[in-house]
Amino acid sequence: MSNLKASYELILYELRKITESENMYYKPIQPKLSDIELISLVIWAEFKSIDSERQLFREIDDLGIASKIERSVYNRRKRKLFPCIEMLRKKMAMQFNEFENYFVVDSMPLEVCKMSRSSRSKICKENSCAFPDRGFCASQNVPFYGYKLHAVCSVNGVFQSFDITPASVHDIHYLQDIKSQMSDCTLLADKGYLSQSIQLDLFNEVNIELEVPKRINQKEYKPQFYLFRKCRKRIETLFSQLCDQFMIRRNYAKSFEGFKTRILAKITALTTIQYLNKFIFNRNINNIKIKLAL
C-alpha cells in the first residue's frame, strides 16, 4: 500500500467514525464515490498541498478511485457538499473547544486578483450580494482586492468559527455575528476591534468579555496582560500555516461558491490534521507537516 493511499484511507476511516451515513443528501442514482469518500479526497488533497483539480486527478490513480468520478462531477458535488463539510469541521472542533473559555479573533486578506486587474475582473461576480471589493491590510500596509477571512480560534489553535466578507467590511462588524455562535467566554482581539459600545453589547447579551488593548493616547491606558498578548499570536500562526502549507491566498476559483468552498476545504483539512494528531497519534496538534502513514 502506498503512502498516499494509506493517508487517504486513514482520513476516510476517521471521518466515517464521526458521521452517520456515507451519503449526505438525496441522489436519484447512487454514485460510485460516496459523499464521505469525496470529502476525504478533498481533505487529503489540501493536506498534500494539491490545490489544482487537474493535478489532483493525475495523482488519484494510486488511490483506486480515478474511475469512480469525473472531474466536472467532482467539482459540482464538492460545492454542493459545503454544509456537510462545515458540519464535519464543527464536530471535530467541538472535541477540542467544548470546554474552552478563551478564544482569539482576527482577520486576514484573501485576494482574488491583483489590484491592477480589479476594474475588469469578473471573478466571483455571479451574485451581486457577494461581490469582492477593495480593502486595506494594515499589518502589511498594502491595499488588496477580494475578501477578508474573519476567524475565531481557541488559544490551543483550533478554529471555532469563521466567515468571509468583502474586503471593505471593517473587522468589528464580524463581532455582531459572534453573538449567535458563542457565549460565556473571553475573546482576545487586537486594537482593530476597539469599541466600547460593542464591548458592552457582547457582555450584556451573551456574556462575552472582549479583551482589547487600549491605545497609548487613551485615558487610563495600561499594557495588556502578558499572557493575553502571547495567546493572541496563536491565530497569526494559524493564518501563516494556511498561507504556507494550504496556500489559502492562491485562488483558482471563478465563482463565489467555488471560492468559499476552497476556503472551507483548507480550514477543514487543517482541523482534520489537528484532530488526527490529538486523538490518533497523541502528539502536538499544531505540527501539521507530518506523515499520516508509513
Amino acid (one-letter) located at 69? I
CB of 155 within 8 A of CB of 102? yes
Mean per-residue pLDDT of the chain: 88
Which pLDDT value is given to residue 93? 94
Which tens digits make up the pLDDT trace of 175-214? 888 888 888 999 998 888 888 888 889 999 999 998 888 7
84 contacts 27 by C-beta, under 8 angstroms: no
Average pLDDT over residues 82-106: 93
Burial class (CB in 10 A: 0-12, 13-18, 19+), 36: buried
Question: pLDDT tens for residues 256-290?
Answer: 999 999 999 999 999 999 999 999 999 899 888 88
Which has more confidence, 194 or 87? 87
| Whether 204 contacts 181, CB under 8 Å | no
Residue in the block written with cell 449567535? 180
pLDDT at 232: 86
Grid coordinates belonging to 199: 464591548
Q: Does domain 99-255 have CATH number 3.30.420.10?
A: yes
Check whether 124 has a pLDDT greater than 80.
yes
Where would I find the beta strands (DSSP E) of 40-184? 102-113, 133-137, 142-154, 159-166
pTM of the model: 0.93
Pairwise CA distance, residues 209 & 77, whole Å: 40
At 211 the pLDDT is: 87
Parallel/antiparallel/unpaired status of strands 102-113 and 185-188: parallel
Whether 1 shows a pLDDT value over 50: the answer reads no
Give the tens place of pLDDT for each residue, 150-159: 999 999 999 9
Q: Is residue 125 left, alpha or beta, with left meaning phi > 0 and alpha meaning psi from -120 to 50?
A: alpha
% residues pLDDT > 90 (the chain) = 46
Strands 185-188 and 208-211: parallel
Residue pair 193/210 in contact (Cβ under 8 Å)? The answer is yes
Mean pLDDT within 12-34: 88
pLDDT of residue 294: 59
* Numbers of helices and strands, H then E, in the chain: 9, 6
Which DSSP helix (H) or strand (E) runs through 209?
Answer: strand 208-211
pLDDT in tens, 205-259: 999 998 888 777 777 777 777 788 888 889 999 999 999 999 998 888 889 999 9
Residue 71 pLDDT class (50, 70, 90 cuts)? confident
Name the residue ranges covered by the structural domains of the chain: 99-255
Q: For residue 141, what pLDDT band results from cuts at 50, 70 and 90? A: confident
